[in-house]
Structure 1
Amino acid sequence: MANIVRFEPMREMVRMSDAMDRLFENIYGRGWHDGDLFESPSVDMYQTENDIVVKASLPGMKAEDIQISVVGDVLTLRGKIDAEEEVKDASYHIRERRSGSFARSLPLPSAVQSDKAKAEFENGVLTLTMPKAEEMRPKTITVKAK
């Protein structure tokens, strides 16, 4: 005896959307990125009482090839790795090292003072420290007893 299955259009739309996401992940890697089909950098973002800190893994890059901008509450990292010259008279067995450009935009959790930001680049890791805007910093109010 066959069971009757109720047709649920929303469930079918979600299933189709998931299938499309998997298809594009298989073709392009971890999703769509600005610029070329270059892998977006892995990023950690956290905040302290006074700062927002972003760390991005950018192996193989030079500091002068990285651009950072903050517009409103969006941080954008851009960069480019030039392709190494292909070895002539060689048969590549594996060629996974990527070249090209990338752009990654990240929403900031609060307003920052971008003119006071500090960026350091060491061992392929960019560390960007941005002070929070004065109005976003926690204020302590002391209660006085009478």
Structure 2
Amino acid sequence: MAIVRWQPYGAVASLQNSINKLFNDAFARTNVDEDFALSAWKPVVDIFDKDDAIVIHAELPGVKKEDVAIEVKDNVLTLRGERSESKEIKEDKYYRKERTFGSFHRAFSLPSAINPDTIKATFKDGILEIEIPKPEEQKPKQVKISID
């Protein structure tokens, strides 16, 4: 009988490899899957509140700022754009292709009191920051009435 050295994590690694193989075999990429993947790309966003503004951070790696459009219509802010695939690498040269390309679009409802002309956007290091200033709260008007 041969003595075998015990490797406590060997079984876990083997199980992980089996699960990966199962998913790779079950969900093999076909043209239909690739077409779906291209249309399903949506950049992830964080939306948070500052004292004077609502801020949206959108991750857009590999997207040029010229390929991004921001539009406000009927109190809905729409973010559209496209991430283009590099044509330098031929399709048959890939071993694995996981990144998605193509057009994307996200829409966010805004409070009705927002003035679209005050929205500011900056794009740096693949992060689009959209700052939506909060409207000044309407203050009650005080009218002096002179009594004769």
Normalised by the length of structure 1, the TM-score is 0.62
Question: Which residue of the partner structure matches residue 51 of structure 1?
Answer: 53
Identity value in percent: 41
Amino acid at match of 2:125: N
Question: Which residue of the partner structure matches residue 99 of structure 1?
Answer: 101
Question: Which residue of the partner structure matches residue 74 of structure 1?
Answer: 76
Question: Which residue of the partner structure matches residue 67 of structure 2?
Answer: 65
Q: CA offsets per residue over residues 71-116 of structure 1, 9 Å max, x none?
A: 2321110001122115248532111122110111112256322111
Shift of 1:59: 0.5
Counterpart-to-counterpart distance in 2, 1:71 and 1:103: 14
Counterpart-to-counterpart distance in 2, 1:81 and 1:70: 22
Summarize the Cα distance change of 1:89–1:128 in structure 2 as closer, same or farther, 3 Å threshold: closer
- State the number of aligned residues: 107
Normalised by the length of structure 2, the TM-score is 0.61
Counterpart-to-counterpart distance in 2, 1:47 and 1:69: 20
- Cα RMSD of the aligned pairs, angstroms, is 2.9
Which runs of 5 or more structure 2 residues have no equivalent in the other structure?
1-31, 141-148
Counterpart-to-counterpart distance in 2, 1:131 and 1:76: 16
Q: Which moved more, 1:119-128 or 1:93-102?
A: 93-102
**Structure number with larger C-alpha Rg:** 2
Question: Contact 1:66 / 1:79 at 8 angstroms: preserved in 2?
Answer: yes
Question: Contact 1:57 / 1:126 at 8 angstroms: preserved in 2?
Answer: yes
Is the aligned partner of 1:129 residue 2:131? yes
